[in-house]
Chains A and B, each alone.
Chain A
Amino acid sequence: MDWAAALAKFAKKAISGLSISLIKIDKPNFYIVNGGNVGSIVSKGKPAHKKFPPKSLPVDISLLSKEERLLLQKALKEALDNEQTFLLEDTPGEIDGIRESQAEPDNKELLTILQPFLSSTDFAALRAAVVLRYMRKKGLDVIKLKGDIVHKYGDRGAKMANLCSAGYFDDAAKQLKTFRSSPKFNADEFRKKLDDLISQSAFALFVQNDWPRLRTRNEIITRIRINAGYGIHQVVLHAIGEDNMEKVREITDALIAKYPEINKAHDDTIAGEARIHLVFPSKIAQKLK
């Protein structure tokens, strides 16, 4: 049995009554539906492909007899044997988006450069983080994607997603490009540096939208204390979202007013994200309350 011919035969039922001949589509993408979509389109006399991706040919199982359904299932098995992949609606578009994100020149370079210095799990997490960043830049809702990363890669994955969105891995890749040809370059040291960046998120604090003001202030103070304790005299606060940006700016201004030793080196808004770079001396650790 030719699976494509069988599916095309069943598709005829779904698109009967239309003036255009969708059956003549060359190498169509078959779309299995169970009532709803096709019927409503047919009854309104609109082309069936309006609601489907280009070159789609709908097969409506609700229109098939029990015998026809069994024949269709046989054809589907044969289709799988012939390298067809079965994907839930919207999934092809999501996979296209993933591919676009990985093929984007800057992302491709970032992933290629850093892959040898990351474990396979961290590299997989970085790829997912790159997708998330790409989708966020396109203005899409990334809450589910972030949840997927946390579910799969845990707290470390969440940190990597934050660091990636804030451009830290791009900075690391730039640094690597500059220094890897130097005789002093040590691959193991760079690997450790990347690991420290991820595990400690040393210079950064990602202020969350749902942190109340008191928690935000405490998190900033804690990060300054930790960094000062390690001899790191700086922290970069990241905040996404208008309210979040306003909150963090008000809190840092109040801290600076109370502790003049803390200085704001930079305060920028880049692609909808506030980046506030604070610098401070070691002795601040004892004074902060």
Chain B
Amino acid sequence: MLNNVISFDKASREFVLDSFDKAVDSEGFIVEKSNLKQRVLTPEGEEIRFEDFAGIKKGSLLFFKRDLPSLIKLSDLME
């Protein structure tokens, strides 16, 4: 069981992103609310589709996708 986790359901994704000043652009990518042309990147430099959004971790502000390699990385960072 993971510690220090706040879970959220799919219906709350926009609310959670909005809490951290992020929005979703017309193509479905997560962007900065203050600059809709600036897409948010994963630690590996990949753009994140709203549908692939898995979570946020401290470390400035790290956003993660929901694919296996990203989740392995996130798991390592949560050790």
Q: Which residues of A contact B (CB under 8 A)?
A: 7, 29-37, 53-54, 56, 61, 69, 72-73, 76-77, 79-81, 83-89, 91-92, 94-96, 98-99, 124, 127-128, 131-132, 145, 148-149, 151-153
Contacts and interface: CB of A to CB of B under 8 A. Distances in A.
A84 B11 contact: no
A131 to B, nearest CB: 6
Nearest to A128: B68
Contact of B5 (A7, A35, A84, A145): A84
Main SS of chain B's interface residues?
mixed
A89 B71 CA distance: 13
A86 to B, nearest CB: 4
26 contacts: A29-B5, A31-B8, A31-B9, A32-B8, A32-B9, A32-B15, A34-B9, A36-B9, A54-B1, A61-B12, A69-B15, A73-B15, A79-B6, A83-B4, A85-B57, A85-B74, A86-B6, A86-B16, A91-B7, A92-B2, A92-B7, A95-B71, A98-B72, A128-B69, A145-B68, A148-B68
Given A32-B9, A86-B6, A96-B1, 11 more contacts: A31-B9, A32-B7, A34-B9, A34-B15, A84-B58, A85-B6, A85-B58, A88-B13, A89-B7, A95-B75, A128-B68
Nearest to B2: A92
A31 B2 CA distance: 13
Contacts of A37: 9
B18 A33 contact: no
B34 to A, nearest CB: 15
Contacts of A86: 5-8, 16, 55-57
Nearest to B11: A34
B55 A91 contact: yes
A40 B2 CA distance: 27
Contacts of A88: 7-10, 13, 53-55, 66
B72 A128 contact: yes
Contact of B12 (A33, A80, A148): A33
Interface string B49-79: 0000111111001000011110110110010
Contacts of A89: 7-10
Given A80-B58, A85-B58, A95-B74, A31 B67 contact: no
A35 B11 contact: yes
A233 to B, nearest CB: 37
B6 A30 contact: yes
Contacts of A30: 6-7
Contact of B6 (A32, A128, A152): A32
B9 A33 contact: yes
Contacts of A91: 7, 54-55, 66, 71
A275 to B, nearest CB: 26
A85 B4 contact: yes
Contacts of A56: 7
B26 interface: no
A70 to B, nearest CB: 10
B19 interface: yes
Nearest to A99: B75
